Chain A
Amino acid sequence: MKTFEEKWTAWIDGELTGKELVEFEASLSDRAAAEAEKRAAHKLGVLLKAELKADTMANAEFFSHQLRERIDHEDTMPTRRDDRESSWWTIPRLFWSGATALALFLIVAIVATRHQDGGGQSDLTSQILQARVDPVVNPNATITVFEAKEDRVTVLWTEGLQSLPADYAAK
C-alpha cells in the first residue's frame, strides 16, 4: 500500500498509470491546485538540471593522475599488511600455541603434584618394600601398606617377616 507521498511523487513523475492513476486523481480535493503544483515541480526540475548539470570538469587529467598515484600508493599498503598477516603468528596459531602451553603446564603440574605425594611415603616403607623383594632374607614375607594422607598416617602391616633388614637401625 503506497502512502500519499509515494503516490504524489509517482504522479508528478508520470509513473502512475491505469487504475492507480484514476483513483489518485479522483482522490485529489483540489485538482487545479494539484496540477499547478505538478507544473511547479517540473519547472523546479528543469531549473535544477539547467543550473546544476555538470558538463565539463577542469583539471580532469590531473584528477586522474592524482587518483592513479593514490591507488598505486594504496596498492602497496595492503602488501605490507599481507606481510604481517603472512607471518607465523596468526591468530589461530596464537590460540593453539596458548592452549598447548596451558595443557603442558597442567600435565607438568599434575605430575609434579603426584611426585610430591609419592615422596610423602616414609623411608621405612621404602626400606621394607625393598627388603621384601629379597627372597634370601624373607622368602615368604608379605607387606601391606595403609596410608591416610589427610591424617599423615601410614600403617605398615607385615606377615612372615623373619628379620628386619640389617641397615634398618641406621636409618
Chain B
Amino acid sequence: MQTEATAAQPDVSELDLVKRCQEGQADAFDELVIRYRTRVFGMIYNMVHNEQDAWDLAQDSFVKAWKSIKRFRGQSSFYTWIYRIVMNVTIDSLRRKQIKGAGAEFDDSIQLKEIDPASKTVPKPDALPYESMQRSEIRAQIDQAISQLTPEHRAVILMKEIEDMQYHEIAEALGCSIGTVMSRLFYARKKLQALLKDVYENI
C-alpha cells in the first residue's frame, strides 16, 4: 500500500501514530491524514462523482475518525477502520441524495444547480484535480456506469478493483459478511461489464 507519507517517514509506524492520536496529539493525526487524504478523497469522488461533495465528505470522515480514534482497538488495520467511516459517511450521503433526488442523483444539469458558486469549502481560484482534468469520454462513460450501481455495489467494486482490498477487509469496512461482499461484487461486475463492454474491449 503506497501512501503519500510512506516514503517520507517510513520509520513512523501507523500504530504509533494512532496511539499518539489516542493521547490527543493532533500532529499525529495530521500525519495520518497526509497518508490517507488522497486515497480517501479519490474513493469518495469515485462514489459520488462530485468534487465539492467528495471534499466535504472526506472532511467529515476525518473529523469523525478524530472523534472516535480512542475507540480504535487495533483489531483491524487503520486503513480498514478509516474506510469503514468513509463508507458509512458516503453511503449515508448517497442514500439521502437518492431519497431527495428520486433517481436524478447524477443528472449533470441538476448537479450544477446544486453547487453553490459562492461556496468557500473548496478553494475555487486554482484548478481542482478532478474538475480541471480534461475528462475523457472513457472516464465519463465509467462514471455514468458506476452511477447506475447502488451505493453498496459501488463501494465493493471500487474497494476491490481500485484499492486492491481483500474480501475480509471490504467486509470489515462495510460491516457485512464476506459472502455478501462476494455476492455484491458478482452483480456489480456483471452490470459494469454490460455497460462498459465497448470501452474495455476497445482499449
Show the binding face of A for B, using Cβ within 8 Å. 2-3, 5-6, 8-10, 12-13, 15, 37, 40-41, 43-49, 51-60, 62-64, 66-68, 70-72, 74
- Closest chain-A Cβ to B146's Cβ sits at a distance in Å of 8
Determine if B193 and A40 form an interchain contact, defined as CB atoms under 8 angstroms apart.
Answer: yes
- Residue numbers in B under 8 Å from A8 (CB-CB): 186
Interface pick from B73-81, B82-90, B126-134: B126-134
With A44-B200, A54-B43, A64-B37 given, can you name 15 additional A-B contacts, CB distance below 8 Å? A3-B179, A9-B186, A41-B193, A47-B138, A48-B158, A48-B192, A54-B39, A56-B38, A57-B37, A58-B127, A58-B128, A63-B58, A71-B26, A71-B62, A71-B63
What CA separation (Å) do A55 and B128 show in the bound complex? 14
Determine if B142 and A5 form an interchain contact, defined as CB atoms under 8 angstroms apart.
Answer: no
Determine if B193 and A55 form an interchain contact, defined as CB atoms under 8 angstroms apart.
Answer: no
Determine if A58 and B183 form an interchain contact, defined as CB atoms under 8 angstroms apart.
Answer: no
Which chain B residue shows the least CB distance to A1? B179
Query: At the interface, is chain A mostly helix, strand, loop or mixed?
Result: helix
B108 CB within 8 Å of chain A:
no
Determine if B200 and A43 form an interchain contact, defined as CB atoms under 8 angstroms apart.
Answer: yes
Query: At the interface, is chain B mostly helix, strand, loop or mixed?
Result: helix
Determine if B126 and A59 form an interchain contact, defined as CB atoms under 8 angstroms apart.
Answer: yes
What CA separation (Å) do A62 and B41 show in the bound complex? 13
Q: Give the residue of A10, A46, A52, A66 whose beta carbon is less than 8 angstroms from that of B59.
A: A66
Determine if B162 and A48 form an interchain contact, defined as CB atoms under 8 angstroms apart.
Answer: yes
What CA separation (Å) do A9 and B161 show in the bound complex? 13
- Residue numbers in A under 8 Å from B126 (CB-CB): 58-59
- Closest chain-B Cβ to A133's Cβ sits at a distance in Å of 76
What CA separation (Å) do A88 and B33 show in the bound complex? 39
Determine if B37 and A63 form an interchain contact, defined as CB atoms under 8 angstroms apart.
Answer: yes
Q: Can you name 28 A-B pairs with beta carbons within 8 Å? A: A5-B182, A5-B187, A6-B183, A40-B200, A44-B161, A45-B161, A46-B200, A46-B203, A47-B138, A47-B196, A47-B199, A48-B158, A51-B136, A52-B142, A53-B162, A54-B39, A54-B43, A56-B129, A57-B41, A58-B126, A59-B129, A60-B34, A63-B37, A63-B55, A66-B121, A67-B63, A71-B29, A72-B26
Determine if A70 and B193 form an interchain contact, defined as CB atoms under 8 angstroms apart.
Answer: no
Determine if A58 and B129 form an interchain contact, defined as CB atoms under 8 angstroms apart.
Answer: yes
